[in-house]
Amino acid sequence: MKSFPGVGGSDGAGTVEELGEGVTSFQKGDRVLLQCLDYVPDRGTFQQYAIADAHRISKIPNNLSFDEAATVPLGLATAAVGLYAPKAPMGGAALTPPWVEGGKDKYKDQPALVTGGSSSVGQFAIQLLKLSGFNPIISTTSARNFDYVRAAGATHVVDYHTTPYASLRAAVEKITAAPIPVVYDAISSDDSQRASWDILAPNGAMVVTTGMRQPVVGKPGEDAEDGKHLARVYGSVDAVKDVEFGNQLYASLTELLESGALKPNQVEILPNGLAGVPDAVARFGRGAISGAKLVARVGETP
C-alpha cells in the first residue's frame, strides 16, 4: 500500500460501467478482467467499483465466467513476467513471448521444469512454456493434482511428497538426459530453490517467486560463473520498464483465453463475499489450499 486508506484486492472481473475520455477500445457493458495498480483506494478490487487503465484490462470471452476470469491476472502476470520480461534485479528470463511474432513454439522440444504445477502461478507457467514449445515439461505437485497439472500441459508429474526436492534431480534425469535450460520455481521454498538451481543447465535461466525475500541461490538479475541466470519476478506487467510488454500481453489475452490456449485456474467460491476473505487467508497460512484460486464475489458480502 502506498497510501491509506488503501483498498486490497489485486485481481478482479466485472462489467464496464463508465469509460474515461478517449477510450475507444471498450464499451459500456463489456465484460472485462483486470489487475489493479498499487492498491490505491480507487483501484483495488475488494470493492464494487474500481478504476482500471484501459491498457490493463481485457475483454472476457464468452467461454469464461467472471469467477474464472478473476483468477487470471496475478498468476498469469507472475508467470509471464518471470519467463519473458527482460533481465533485471526484479525481472525475467528474457525468453521471446509466444504472443509476439516468432515466439510461438520458438523453444520447440527443449525441456523445462516447473515446481508447484498446481499453484496458480505454476499452472500458468506450464501453459506458457507449452505455448513456447517446451517439451517435456516436468512438474512437481501432489498426486491428487496430477490430472490438473497434466491438463495445463505438463508431460511428466512428480509427487513432491514421495520424491522430496533433494531427490528431484535424479527423478528428472530419469525423464530426460537433456540439459534443462529453463526452470520456473513457483514454490521457491529453500529446498525447491536449491534443487531447481542444481537441475538448471549452465547458461540456463531460473525464475523464483520470492518477491522481496532474498533467494537462497544465485543473485537476482545476474548470471553466475557458469552462466546460470536467476530471475526474481514481481507479479505485475507494470513492473516491466517496457510498457509494450504488458500492452502486448493484454492485447492478446482475450484470444488466448477464447481459444483455450490459456485456461483459468480452478475456482472455489468463498461464502459471504469479502466477509469470507479472513478465513481464506487463514487457510492459506495453513497451506490448506490445493489446486484452486479462491474467489470472493463482492456483491455477496452481507
Q: Which of 157, 186, 195, 296 binds ligand NAP (CB under 6 A)?
A: 186
Give dist(CA 284, CA 67) in Å, integer: 19
Q: Which of 114, 171, 209, 240 binds ligand NAP (CB under 6 A)?
A: 209
Q: Is residue 58 involved in binding ligand NAP (CB under 6 A)?
A: no
First to last CA, the chain: 26
Q: Which of 84, 99, 134, 160 binds ligand NAP (CB under 6 A)?
A: 160
Could you give the 3-state DSSP secondary structure of residue 76?
Answer: helix
Binding piece for ligand NAP, criterion CB under 6 A, among 15-23, 125-133, 139-147, 195-203 = 139-147
Q: Is residue 78 involved in binding ligand NAP (CB under 6 A)?
A: yes
Residues 147-183 as b or e (16 or more Cβ within 10 Å = b): ebbbebbbbbbbebeeeebeebeebbeeeeeeebbbb
DSSP state of 220: B
x-or-dash string of contact with ligand NAP, 239-278, rule CB under 6 A: ----------------------------------------
Q: Is residue 119 involved in binding ligand NAP (CB under 6 A)?
A: yes
User: Cell digits for 261?
Assistant: 490456449
Q: Which of 20, 164, 202, 211 binds ligand NAP (CB under 6 A)?
A: 211
Binding piece for ligand NAP, criterion CB under 6 A, among 48-56, 65-73, 187-195, 271-279 = 187-195
Contact 136, 156 (CB under 8 A): yes
User: Cell digits for 35?
Assistant: 489487475
Q: Is residue 75 involved in binding ligand NAP (CB under 6 A)?
A: yes
Contact 127, 204 (CB under 8 A): no
CA atoms lying within 13 Å on the CB side of residue 151: 11
> What count of other Cβ atoms lies within 10 Å of the Cβ of residue 259?
10
Q: Is residue 233 involved in binding ligand NAP (CB under 6 A)?
A: yes
User: Shortest approach of ligand NAP to residue 160 CB, angstroms?
Assistant: 4
Give dist(CA 273, CA 201) in Å, integer: 45
**Interacting residues toward ligand NAP by CB under 6 A:** 74-75, 78, 115-116, 118-121, 140-142, 145, 160, 186-189, 192, 209, 211, 233-235, 289-291
